[in-house]
Structure formats: C-alpha cells, structure tokens
Chains A and B, each alone.
Chain A
Amino acid sequence: MEKKTTELATLGQRGLLKREAAAEGLQYLTFSLAGEEYGVDILKVQEIRGWAPVTKVPNAPAFVRGVMNLRGAIVPVIDLRLRFGLETVEYTKTTVVIVATVQSANGSRIIGTVVDGVSDVLNLNAADIQPAPDFGTAVHTDFISGLVTVDSGMVMLLDVDRLLSVEEMFALENVRPAESHITAAAA
C-alpha cells in the first residue's frame, strides 16, 4: 500500500507539471467500485490512504462511515458504495480511502472516500470527454461530469465538488434529519 501511495503521489506531481505544459491535457485518477471504473480530477486528490477503522459519528447517514484523524484534522469518511446505494463488501487490503479537497459554498473541505481500489492515472484531452447520457429520473447523473472510452472499457468521470458536497448529501437525508432521530430515540 505504502509503495502504491508514493507511486501515485509522484504520478500526481508529474501530472501537475504536464498539465501546466499542455493546457488541454487533463489527468484523472481512476478507481474501481463494484466492477465499474470511475475517474476523479487528480488535482482534487490530496492523498490516498489504506483503510483504517474510523470513529463513528452518531446520527449520521449510513454512508458516512465516521471521522478519521488526518494529521490532526478531523475528516469525514464516506463509503462510495453506500453513497451510490450499492451492496456493501468486506473491506480488504486493496480498499483505500481517497482524500479529496472539495469546494463548497462555505469554503473548502477535506473528505475521505472509501473505494474498492485505485487503478490508474488517465491522460485525457478535453475532446475525449463525452457528456453523460440522460437517464431521465431513473439515475442521478448530476455528479457525473462526463464519460470516456478507454481500451479496457468506459470510465465515468465524477464531479467531486458535487458528489461530496456535504450540503447535498444531507439534503438527500432531509426525510430523516439527525435532530428528529435523536428525539425519537430519547422518547
């Protein structure tokens, strides 16, 4: 794991340099989740860590695994499988937490996301990216910023700011806000 992390870190740095050189070139970190490949803008990724147990947060939605200690900062950890409503699996040695910086109206936040494993770094041109198809109301595509076809298949590019927006995550939870849950338990 350690090795992989450093490897990715250097990849990330190189990516940054390359991106400066060629403005059109975009780099995405791809990861696997339930057999699908997803990609996130590598500049949003702060680091990649192996899974370690986290502290549960009371009355948080199920996809919030808890909070972890990231060098003194308290960082929430989201399980992307649960966030997408997929079935859960046991965490393995390849399970990783992608720590990303998310821009929101209230400034930037640091959020960890549990995924099955990291795969690769994709170099793309803006022209390679196709818009996400419209599934109607059946599938939420708000946080998919585009699709890319690669040799091994298709990669869905995620808009991290939308996907991990705390405001949006809890807007979904409006049906059962944390406050009412706590009163219900007390009663």
Chain B
Amino acid sequence: MAIDIGQFVQTFFEESFEGLDIMEAGLLALEPGVTTDLEKINTIFRAAHSIKGGSGTFGFKDVTDFTHLMETLLDGMREGRLGVTTEGVTALLHSVDCLREMLVAAREHISVEPEQIQELRARLSRLLNRKPAESQAESKPSAAPGAAAAPRAAGWRIQFRPHPQLMHSGNDPVRMFRELAGLGALQARADASQLPKLADLRPEDCYLSWELELRGDATREAVAEVFAWVEGDCDLNLEPLTAEAAPEAPAKPAPPPVAPPGPSAGPQTGEEGQQGELLLERRKGEDRRKGDRRVNVAASDSASIRVGIDKVDAVINLVGELVTTQSMLSALGEDFDMSRLDKLHEALDQLDRNTRDLQEHVMRIRMLPVSSVFSRFPRMVHDVSAKLGKQVELRINGEQTELDKTVIEKIGDPLVHLIRNSLDHGLEPPDERARAGKPETGVISLDAYHKSGSIFIEVDDDGRGLNREALLRKGLQEGLLRPGEEYSDEQIYDLIFHPGLSTAKQLSDVSGRGVGMDVVRSNIHDVGGSIQIASRPGQGTRITISLPLTLAILDGQLVSVGEDCYIIPLLSIIESVQVRVDAVNRVAGKGEVFRFRGQPLPILRLYELFGTEGAVSDLEKGLLVVVEADGRQVGLFVDDLEGQQQVSIKSLEKNFRRVSGVAGATILGDGRVGLILDISGLIRVNNVAL
C-alpha cells in the first residue's frame, strides 16, 4: 500500500519547529545545579522524541541521528546519571539551533555545514562520556553512545507479532527495524505463516510476524522504546541473548535483508536496505539542489495557519444563523405586502448582525496569540545577557493576546530590536546597578494587552533611561533641533527614531549603530501602528507600540471634500467640531491654529493638501474633524460628515503605488472607490512642513 508521505512532510516540519520551540523553552527553564525537575526534562525529551520519530519516517537520517544523541543526553539527565549542568544545557541549546538549521536545510533541500554538526556531536558525546563508569560506544557516534545503564547483554531476542491493525495507526515495521539496526547488528526472520491467500488478503493489514536478533550493547529500555508507539498493537517479547549464545558480534552491521512476500510493504532491515529505499528521495533533493543553489528561505514562510477548532465551530454556527435569516427573508419575499414591513426590517437587522458577527469571527481565524513572537525572547535574553555579562530577568505578560497573523509577522523584528536595545543600552552592568542602589538583576518586561480596539505591546526596562542631554546634543549637532529653543521630552526622545543617530558610546555587535530604530518605526507604521517612548533617567525606559487588531477591516467615517469622499478611521477620530473664525489664529502667517479646549490645534485643510476643487473653503461652513495619531492631534477640515461604515482595506500599491497621506482604498456601498486617509502620515507630513 503506497501512501504518498510527501504530503505530510510539511506537517512534520511545522510540528518539528513547534517541538524545537518547546525544547528551547524547556531548556531555558531548567536550572543547572538545582535538583532536576523531572517533568521539565520529560517535556523536552518528548519533543525531541517526536522529532526523531518523524524524521525517521521521512528519511532525514542525519536529523534522526542527531536527535538521538540529544535524546540520549536528556535521558541521562532524566535518570540522574548525568547532572544538569550549565554546559549541558548550553550544548543542548546549541543543538536545538543546529537542529533547526538542519530541518530548514532538509525542507529547502540545501546542505548544512557538516563541521558544525560534527562539532556539536563531539560536544554531546563528550558530555555523555563524562561518567566513565558507563560503557560507551565511542566508535559509533550515530548509534546510541550512551545507552548502557542496564547490565550488559550480548543482545536481545525480540519476538514481534504485530496485530493485523498495526499499520492502520500509521506505524511501519520497516521504520522500527531501521531504528533497531541503529542499535546494533540486526537479524530478522519473518514468519509468513499467517499470510492468507491473495484473494483474502486485506492490503492494509499486517499478517507477518518477526523474530529478531539484535546483537550489541543496547539496553532493554532502548530496545523497548523502539516499540513504544505500537505497544497496544502487538505482542512483544524481549529476551536477553546470553553472551555465549552470541556467535561473533559483527563489527559492521550488515544483516541480510529480509524480503517477506505480501503487499504489506517490503520490510528491509539494515543500513543498505534503508539507503536503497531512501536513495530515490535523496537524489530528487540533490537534483533540485543543483538546479538552484540559492533557495530563498524567507519565501518559504509557511502560508498555512493553525486554527483552534472552537474558532471554526463559531464560524459554522454563525453561518447556520445566516442561513436561517436568509430563509426567513426569502419567505418574506414570496408574498410581501406592506403590512409586513416591520418583519422585513427586523429580518434585515438580523442579517446585518449576522454579517457583522460572521465577519468578526472570520477575522478571528487569522488571529494568533502574540506568544508565537514572544516565545523567542527568553532564549534571546538568555544568550545576549550572557554575552554582555548582565543579569536580566524577563517578565512576559499577556502572551495570549491575539493579533492578526500579518501583524504578528511584521512586529517580530522590531521587538527583537527593542529588546536588544534594552539589554545593551538600557540595562546597566551589575556593578553599576549596585552603585545606583538597584538590585543587580535588571528586569525587562514585555506586556501585551487589548485596549479600546487596539493591541498594545510594551517593552519596559528598569535601566538607566534615555540620556536626554546626549540626545539633545546630538540633535543640535545633526541640525535636527534648533539651538535656543525649548523642546519637550517627547520631542527629544523622538530623535532616537531618526536614522543615523546613536548615542551609544561604543558600538557592540548587539546594537548601537543608529540604524534600526527608524526601521522599527517604519515597520510598525507599515502595519498601521504607532510607537511611543517614555523614559525616566535612572529608572528606565518604556516603549509602547499600539497596533490595529486587524489589517483587513476598519470602522470608517466617511467625509466629503468637494466631490470626493474620503474615509477616516473611526479610531483616530476624537470628535468633530464647528469652527468659530475668531478662535483661529495664523502662526507666522502660514499655519492656521484653532484654539480648542484651551489647546492650540493645527488645522489641515484636506482640499488644499489633496488639491481638490469645489470644496468648501470657508472655515465656518465646513467641519473640523479632530484626529489623533502618534500622540499628536490635528484638525482635518472637511466639507461634511457622511455615514459611518465598516470598510475592507484594499491595497493601492498592488496595481499603483503608495500615495502619501493615503493608507489604502476601499469599495464603497455604491461600488465607487473611496480612499482611506493615513492620519499618522498626514500628521507627519504636516510636521515636516511646519
């Protein structure tokens, strides 16, 4: 029975990468030297084991071997034979990295530097060999170097009688034999006596049973583990072979291949058989590799999404309701008269509600918890703080907050950058902290929360804070600020987003080149978010990023300017007011400012900005829409307010190009195109002008 396993490869990779994340998180939680928490190690072990199993199934042999080595080390830690040392944890963390690279390489059909793998292998083996009491199989790095806790046996006689349904669960004896062959020399005898006549044969059942002889120093556990997945589906009998009974232990595993009849696969054992079977697959990979060596790894970002079943169920429920409403409406339409107008209105209201709910829930399918981004930070903080010689505690809150997948993908890099900055520049070295009377361990906290229709992410550190003086000096030096003027803290802190500006005294390979913060800001603007910074000298810095819940839909206020209709995102609107001309001043003869609740509010006349003809130009005849973005307010002068509606955002760039002041376009109710204003863009442009 030939199943094309290729279709599952993608799932294997996805699960493996998840497994690696679990391992990483688990390893970071391990405390070297402290009494081992078994459950933690078990979690790591399970993840490693799944990767090993999967990679074996798909024939990624180097991954299997490598994970096996890691697993052995973990096993040692679990059983307390090997202590949980910093060295061990670090080696395992590096191995996780290496494994990730190997998996990416396997996915992209490219090769990995073998030196790295060799080096890590050597490191792991060294760690394994630290307990000299254990007998080792040093000559065979790929085959269970540390598997030797039990008394030595010359080998094992294994009676393996699979139940007919064994293969229904996706298990394959061939794979298990391969694994066994990795533990020592394997001889297999197949018993085909149960094989029915061809006519009675069910191709999905397993009729064969085997008697296997494994020679080598594998432990009972190691052997039993091979069969761990099929425990309930077979009769298994393990007997140690006595040393005398073992004739001569072959130096090289070269067992004769067993070729049982029957269509139920053709189990072959031993390296050779395995190689032969895998050859085809590998060659395919190699050909591809030759074809284009530089595979764009970024392009392979999986375009799939894992969705909780509850979300899908919610959508299905809503579709059910929609169908009910639809049938209600069509029943009404069959024989409609004016007396039933009320009913029609009611049904239409219901339709409206259903559509909205459905829209919201469909959007929710695209939402992922931010933990998918946050999960990489403990590791990063661990590595970077070790490199910098700082003691850092990372506190993460609200990692279950959900965000649109696209937004999640875009904020990863900016967050990495912000956290690196906090680690490198924000937090002081322990001695400096001690002098300042602060605890030696610095704290970086990462919070995500949902507030009034936006998602906020805060990166907070209790370090030295931004150096206002240095920034001011730099700003003057670069001509970004004018001497003699008073600047608010906010304006000064804003300078760090300026390209090319860095106050770091020395460059490090962590950060400090003055590139980056501008990229951080533009990335966040790209997804429609904004970023703010607050800092207190000696007490720390807080950077707040606000992000839209979703990119695809927004609540919009339609405004008219001349003949045109624009959409202002409802979230950025504070209020709309009528202007009294006596409250308007001209600043230096150019910019108009409206005194609004005691605050000066710059007026932006949209028709001037956009060159629209036929718009209302008399301030008292139009309306001022007060909008806010990036913590600044301006009044947008428009002719009038039209309706409010939810609009789906379409890209202008796809067929055209980016237009400044315009965030995107949408299709209005009448089929025309409406442009959605980019409020923070408008305010930025306005600031440059003033």
Contacts and interface: CB of A to CB of B under 8 A. Distances in A.
B655 A183 contact: no
Interface in B642-690: 650-652, 654-657, 659-662, 665, 667, 671-675, 685-686, 688-690
B685 A186 contact: yes
B239 interface: no
A46 B442 CA distance: 61
Interface residues of B, number: 33
Contacts, number: 93
A166 B609 contact: no
Do most interface residues of chain B lie in helix, strand or loop, or is the interface mixed?
Answer: mixed
Nearest to B665: A74
A179 to B, nearest CB: 5
A45 to B, nearest CB: 15
B661 A187 contact: no
A109 B604 contact: no
Contacts of A111: 655
B689 A55 contact: no
A76 B673 contact: no
Contact of B674 (A55, A72, A73, A185): A55
B662 A57 contact: yes
Q: Which of B611, B612, B651, B652 is packed against the most chain A CB atoms within 10 Å?
A: B611
A12 B74 CA distance: 67
B564 interface: yes
A181 B608 CA distance: 10
Interface string B57-88: 00000000000000000000000000000000
Contact of A185 (B611, B655, B667, B671): B611
B381 to A, nearest CB: 38
Chain A at the B interface: SS class: mixed
B674 A182 contact: no
Interface string B585-616: 00000110000000000001000111110000
Nearest to B674: A55
Contacts of A181: 611
Interface residues of A, number: 30
Contact of A73 (B611, B612, B650, B690): B650
A57 B655 contact: no
Given A68-B673, A186-B604, A186-B689, A110 B610 contact: no
Given A74-B650, A110-B655, A55 B564 contact: yes
Interface in B160-194: none
Interface string A91-131: 00000000000000000011100000000000000000000
Contacts of A166: 656-657
Interface of A: 53-60, 66-69, 72-76, 109-111, 166, 170, 178-179, 181-183, 185-187
8 contacts: A55-B665, A57-B652, A58-B661, A59-B660, A109-B655, A166-B656, A181-B611, A186-B608
